[in-house]
Chain A
């Protein structure tokens, strides 16, 4: 049984939809009820299709309904991906058998099978990504439509690569569907929680130290690359960041912080706050499974339920909370910065990154403003 209580993280079905719907040229069909369809449809802000099955299709089989929906979509020219929800999965219907003749991508990722990341990886595996050794450029991975920073991350990393003269290969998972099979041999990450495992990883881009290291590796791989302009920009902007942090510390104590997010973003937040604000990291609670080496200098644990998160906030008594609007609702009087969905109660129209240089600037800027707004 999963951790009981109030789950704070979406299910595998949503993760699969987040992966597949990121590719232009794939029509994603949620095979299940309308209730199951509405959540990914509203969370991912993208086109999804549904079979919207009814009770009689559970009793007599959902093949006719699935064929009807697929038939309606077949004229679009897209590949069709079917994501199963709990009931069709438990019934054990053979989706491929039902719609024989169609080149379907089938992802069996019912909600009871795991969390968002599990579904995302199952869908990526079903796509069968592969590297074309002749393909130039570098892939960007870690992109999930469920991440409110995904578009900002793509824009930021694409900008930095452009400045360095390095073309972008395939963006996993936000690209043309046909580029899945022709990925570049090298990959850089924006969010390790959604790593693709495609190509040779040259590192991540969360946090300035990581970004510098990755740029160094890129410079070593790509002969024609010129990373100097990017490194100069990083030096200049990091000076501003350090200055802003120092100015804050002239008046205030470093923040005592509780962080709740996916593991990659949570550790990025901890490292960044430690580096620029000498923050005291009281707790790092991850929504998803912990990475193998979860940053030894912090207390890191998986906390995917509301009660556990609430308990840790009460125990640690932070003056800054990093997380989602769930955490903000638990402690509305503490300084808060959102880095993980949902961000309820806010209007967000522009795309902001957490990866790259812009991501660090955006994050620290928000932390400083939140802390100063709540300062006594």
Chain B
């Protein structure tokens, strides 16, 4: 049972631009992100980002500070508070400072850009966010990625690697999904150039222009892919491999984009697929239902294909199985999901 009571209109639940942008900027480990707003906005996000880090076995805390607006600044303006916190951030000598604003700052009309422009000595980069007034979570992610890409030097030569663009850094299995994509690329003899942006230094941003191909986490990042294509002439693939058939398609697409014959890689992956079908043969013929609504259209298609491949009957009276927030990445992701389905089927 879901404990969330959400409205039918999905545009209302697309999250906060601030959180989306923070999920990117806090991955630059030697930079500081300043949230211009009340302390609560920073705390909420700091706690969320901390949770994600710890759950992925990283103990370091996100480099995130607040201008700490109180009622006084909400009434009289918060530019002074931003100015002071920027000075304090600069005194820490970071590689860069990202400035993100909140919905209350948008409401009171602080000129954030002017305060940022007045600073020197350290790159102070304002990223367009304004809480829910700036768009959705995904808007924040895209804006941050484009802003960071804009800081990269275009002069580096190509190194033959592949960039992973816009990983969902708040996703619990972000590293497992990355590992799966890296494994598939390795079947084609390709290596990863840069995880843009996941656990980087500011200086490493420059390497984003050196890849031969960009693999986007999902199609919502196409504006970022287009930006990178325009600036660095790098082609892109619009999403991670989802499900069984999506994995094979991914190998074909990457092979085509890089001029590599994928047949050997596909044959090997088909073997892995067969092994997986054998490992879960015991659930074949069982009746299942999907326990929650699908967050994405793609999700339903991918999961129905997986059910079909494993000869599971999807009917309303079937055993409810958990539906992942995002469809499983690669065959390794399918296996992890099938373990959960098997538990549910046998429950």
- Partner-B contacts on A (CB < 8 A): 1-14, 33-36, 38-39, 41-43, 45-50, 52-55, 58, 69, 86-87, 90-91, 110-113, 115, 306-307, 325-326, 328-330, 332, 342, 344-345
Please determine whether A344 and B103 come into contact, CB atoms closer than 8 angstroms: no
A282 to chain B, nearest CB (A): 21
* A35 touching B16 in the complex, CB below 8 Å, given contacts A54-B11, A112-B104, A344-B54: yes
A303 to chain B, nearest CB (A): 14
Please determine whether B64 and A1 come into contact, CB atoms closer than 8 angstroms: no
Please determine whether A113 and B71 come into contact, CB atoms closer than 8 angstroms: yes
B346 at the interface (CB under 8 A from A): no
Q: Can you list, as one digit per residue, whether each of B140-174 has a CB less than 8 Å from chain A (1) or not (0)?
A: 00000000000000000000000000000000000
In B58-91, which residues have CB < 8 Å from any A CB? 59-61, 64-74, 81, 84-85, 88
* A87 touching B61 in the complex, CB below 8 Å, given contacts A4-B84, A49-B5, A69-B7: no
Picked from A12, A53, A325, A342, the residue with its CB within 8 Å of the CB of B40 is A12
> Considering only CB atoms and an 8 Å cut-off, how many residues of chain B contact the other chain?
57
B249 at the interface (CB under 8 A from A): no
A138 to chain B, nearest CB (A): 32
Q: A7-B66, A38-B16 are in contact. List 5 more A-B contacts (CB 8 A).
A: A7-B42, A34-B14, A35-B15, A55-B133, A344-B50
> Which of chain A's residues has its CB closest to B140's CB?
A35
> Which of chain A's residues has its CB closest to B58's CB?
A329
Picked from B5, B39, B41, B131, the residue with its CB within 8 Å of the CB of A47 is B5
In the bound complex, CA of A52 to CA of B14 (Å): 9
Please determine whether B73 and A14 come into contact, CB atoms closer than 8 angstroms: no
> Which of chain B's residues has its CB closest to A38's CB?
B15
> Which of chain B's residues has its CB closest to A111's CB?
B40
Please determine whether A9 and B43 come into contact, CB atoms closer than 8 angstroms: yes
Please determine whether B74 and A112 come into contact, CB atoms closer than 8 angstroms: yes
Please determine whether B4 and A34 come into contact, CB atoms closer than 8 angstroms: no
- In the assembled complex, which residues on chain A have CB atoms less than 8 Å from the CB atom of B13? 34, 52
B3 at the interface (CB under 8 A from A): yes
Please determine whether A11 and B40 come into contact, CB atoms closer than 8 angstroms: yes
> Which of chain A's residues has its CB closest to B130's CB?
A55
Please determine whether B47 and A342 come into contact, CB atoms closer than 8 angstroms: yes
Q: Can you list, as one digit per residue, whether each of B259-294 has a CB less than 8 Å from chain A (1) or not (0)?
A: 000000000000000000000000000000000000
> Which of chain B's residues has its CB closest to A8's CB?
B43
- In the assembled complex, which residues on chain A have CB atoms less than 8 Å from the CB atom of B16? 33-36, 38
> Which of chain B's residues has its CB closest to A86's CB?
B104
Picked from A34, A35, A91, A325, the residue with its CB within 8 Å of the CB of B107 is A91
